[in-house]
Amino acid sequence: MAAESTSAAVQRFLDGLGGDASPEPIVRELLDRAVRRLQCLSGAILHRSYPRLTQPPLNLSTDELLGGVVAGLLTAMRTVRPRTVREFFALAAQHMRWQLNDLARRLDQQPAVVGLHEEGLPAPLTSASGLTQDARRMLDAIDKLPEDEQEAFNLVRIQGLTYSEAAEVVGVSAKTVQRRLNRARVLLAEQLADLQPGVRSQESDVRSQELHGKG
């Protein structure tokens, strides 16, 4: 008999959350079964979107993030009952981002330690969380994508799932995930057209010509 897939197992546990009995034993079994997928999601979001948090002074690891996410899900699922695999992993990803955003915000609020040899140097353009203004624009643009396209982009490009894995989570075909991801790319390219290297180069040339003309 073929081994039960992670998505099928998660759905089975979710179906068992009904009734008045304490959900904690079922939730613990669910999280134990889904731990590898959750670890993959945690690692992908941490290292792709918040790489600064993996460096000193925090040195955050995937397992540390996962531990906090599991604890948060145990608490949240006492009252929040995802009905589908898609809703469960969306809830997990939400908790990951809440924790990472909170850590990044705290890190940004810490005063920078500047050595004597660094006096007189200009302040860095990036925040302590490692996100530049362009990166924040990209994240905002992703958040403004239509729901289906945003979900496909997050699952594949940010969380690192394959088309097949993302399709399993969402409950559609791999081809549908690919089409949604392609639409997301087109929409992002339109919204962030000025960030493309060719456009930046042309804008720089125009500014240079204007300055020389004024001289």
What is the per-residue pLDDT across 104-141, written as a single tens digit (0 to 9) for each? Answer: 888 888 765 444 344 433 444 344 445 567 777 887 88
Tokens in use for 177?
Answer: 């995930």
CA-CA-CA-CA torsion sign (146, 149, 154, 157) = negative
What is the residue whose two structure tokens read 């925090």?
58
Q: What is the pLDDT of residues 160-186, one digit of tens each?
A: 778 988 887 788 899 999 999 999 999
Q: Tell me if the bond preceding 57 is cis, omega within 30° of 0.
A: yes
CA-CA-CA-CA torsion sign (70, 75, 76, 77) = positive
Q: Please state the rounded mean pLDDT for residues 46-52.
A: 86
Residue 158 has pLDDT above 90, yes or no: no
Are 10 and 30 within 8 A, CB to CB?
yes
Confidence at residue 45, expressed as pLDDT on a 0 to 100 scale: 85
- Residue 172's CB: how many other CB atoms inside 10 A? 16
What is this structure's pTM?
A: 0.66
Count, residues in the chain = 215
Confidence at residue 64, expressed as pLDDT on a 0 to 100 scale: 94
Measured distance CA(114)–CA(208) in Å, rounded: 35
Question: Which of 50, 55, 58, 48 has its CA nearest to residue 129?
Answer: 50
Question: Which of 179, 203, 204, 199 has its CA nearest to residue 189?
Answer: 199
